[in-house]
Structure 1
Amino acid sequence: MDRLLCFLTTLLVVGAQSCPEVCRCMALKKYGRHIADCSYKDLEAVPLGLPSNATTLTLSVNRIPSLGEDAFADVPNLQALWLSYNEIGGISRGTFSSLMHLRAIDLRHNQIVDFPWGDLSNLTALQQLKLSSNRLEKVPWNAFQTLKDLRSLWLDNNHLVVLFEGTFDPMPWLSQLQIHHNPLNCSCRSWWLKKWLENTSVSVSEKESITCGAPEHLKGLVLGRNLKMDCMLPSVQLVYHSSLGNSVLHDGLTLFLHCSAVGKPTPEIRWTIQTSAQTVAINGPNAEEGGDNALAGVTSPQKKGGRFLVFKNGSMVITNFNKADEGLYTCQALNDVGSREVSVNVALASSESPDDRLQNDIQASKPKANSCDKEHPRPEGKVVFIYLNPRAPKASSNRGTVWDPWLWASSFLVALLSFL
């Protein structure tokens, strides 16, 4: 009698919610789950009239070609959504964004090229995301920023060429990853991934199938420990010189800062200037070069960067240097492997000096970030205070700082800079 009563109660609960004819709906009260199973029905669209209390929806092995924004409007409480083995090629933006209780999505074996990655920002409870065997060509660098609880991520058997550095960092609980059988470009842009695979504690399936699709001479080789990649983190050096050829910088003189960098690929140089009144970022040259005497007649301000003139060879020139130009000048060298930066603090001879140990101290960037902090400033006469403020060098491994064991020194040079 008890069993019959339980069965009748279950029927009443299920009957209270609508269920499309082609689907089978059931309630597992013991587990608090309500299942709508619409698999193996040759469906070409998500059926209407799904029970609003459904927590699991199975639509696998159908012929659904696309998903519209309101495809799952009837089932806002879904926790699991199974859509594998369909013909899904298009998914509208917003299709999944309202399903904030989702813990698992299975979209394997479809034809997806453009996935609505922005929808994932609302799915903070997601623990499993399966996108294997589609036609995905890219994953945005911030695709998984909000997926703190994600445990399992399947991206294998797609058309992915590059994965951006730090792609997997926002997922501290990630324990299973599949990225094999993608035509990865094993240029220096993938150097971080090679290092990450060598050091990660995440279980990465079929590592021997994570191979290079390009360049040609690496095609088919495993992106692993034995793969030789001609890549080098940039090293960077700063040299100071005033227009009078001495180490004392007076008001009205021209300041020359030359930033030289080496690395593979060739690094790009960027400048940041922090003064008491402003912060200026210059991401490339803003002045034309014209030989050794190119700066002789430069006096007019430039639109990009104001009075801070940056040349293609990495040099910066500040004409008619004055009190307002005092501050921290940072040169950053970056390439596909990572970046390093080095800074110099410039003040006029009449300004207060930093601590004694910092005067005229020029060094390369080092692993300690605060060794050049200003402490106990005191007046000092006719000394230009130029010193490099060491910054942590960024390396492309696991989106974190990697300390380069090679610490090179730079020397203080008072010489005319060449602008060839």
Structure 2
Amino acid sequence: MCFFAVWVFLGILLCTPSQCLECPFGCECFAVTRTVKCVSKEILTVPQSIPGYAKAVIITGNNIHQIGPDSFTKMENVTNIILSNNRITDMASHSFSPLIHLRFLDLSENRLALIHPEALSIPGSPLQELNLSRSLHDLPALTDLTTALRWGGLRGLLRLDLSGNHLARLPLGFFSHLPDLRQLFLTNNSLEAVHSGTFSGMNRLELLDLTHNAFVTFGADALLELEKLGNIRILLGCNPYNCSCDIGRFAAWLNESRAQVDLDAVRCASPRGLSGARLPGLSVHAIGCVDPVQTEVADLPLQTSYVFLGLVLGLVGMVFLFVLYLNRKGMKKWIIEMRDACRDVLEGYHYRYEMDSDPRLGHIPADNGGSRRDLGSALPQRLTSDTCIVKPPADTQVKELANSPPVNR
């Protein structure tokens, strides 16, 4: 009799899906492992009547487009839920609120387009692991997720997977409401830069995966942001690093940082001559650039000479101005004399111009040493039959001509 009772008890525990009356239609229930599986059954909604002993619920490969607060009723004991590859597009408010003991939630391989700000809100914040890899449909979904992480009260979250979502950038403060996060996976995205404040508030992070993104280098702000994370493990391999002059600072950081970086996987993708070379062991001379520190040291004597030359020129200028100030009276007298001399020269040129412009003086020699007798012969004489003009002396003719107004040509 006892043997028969034990046999019945084992049969109940190890019953097949068709034998378990509490198992929903199209699902498989395993009482021993406390697991319910509904895989590729073309289910349109989350099955109800999940057995109360279930701890893990696996619903994958179906056509569940929407989940809401009524999807997981009477599942207080469930701790793990896998909802991957169900074509879920909409998560309503308090979708997982009945799951007060939920520790692990997998929403990967879906097409989330609409996420309510309180979709992930669960009383008591029991959720520790959240998998959203390859689940965001577009950029608005990322914005909704940012709000959901802020309003979801996920302060107990330890592991977050956002890989494979084509993320080009992360909003500032995206992880600031996850203070206990230990592992963050951002692999297989399109991230090109890390901005200041991207990882703010993550004081307990232990692992950061940035592999398989679009990083060509890390600037000063990005390196400072990574350095703030402290002595954690950072995966930076499998990125298309461009080993040009701009990557020198990043190469120096790899050799000096206290973070545990996968140095062997950080390799150059371009230029062609350095493709595949390990970036941590690459010197600035191999890259073809001069070390910025050495350049500053080399330019220091030249900068000093420029400063000294500027001081000397300034001193010479001050001495020159001081000498001019002391000799201001002599300089004024010299300037007046120069002005008078220039004025005399200009008046002489003006007088000669007037003499040359008078037609009556066109044949008078310019020099004063010439014979005055020639002046009389040079002047035109007009004689008529009725009058007799007495020729005045030559000196008188010159004076009259000089006092007469000029005749326009």
**TM-score under structure 2 length normalisation:** 0.48
Decide which structure has greater helix share.
2
Decide which structure has greater strand share.
1
**TM-score under structure 1 length normalisation:** 0.47
Structure of larger gyration radius? 2
